[in-house]
């Protein structure tokens, strides 16, 4: 599961 990119907790700067 961890290899699935959409489950990664990735940083995104919301405005």
> What are the φ and ψ backbone dihedral angles of 10, each rounded to 5 degrees?
-105, 145
DSSP the chain: -TT-GGGS-------
Nearest approach in angstroms of CB 3 to another protein is: 11
Q: Which residues bind another protein (CB under 8 A)?
A: 1-2, 4-15
**CA-to-CA distance for 12 and 14, rounded, in angstroms?**
6
């Amino acid at each position: 599961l961890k290899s699935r990119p959409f489950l990664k907790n990735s940083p995104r700067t919301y405005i």
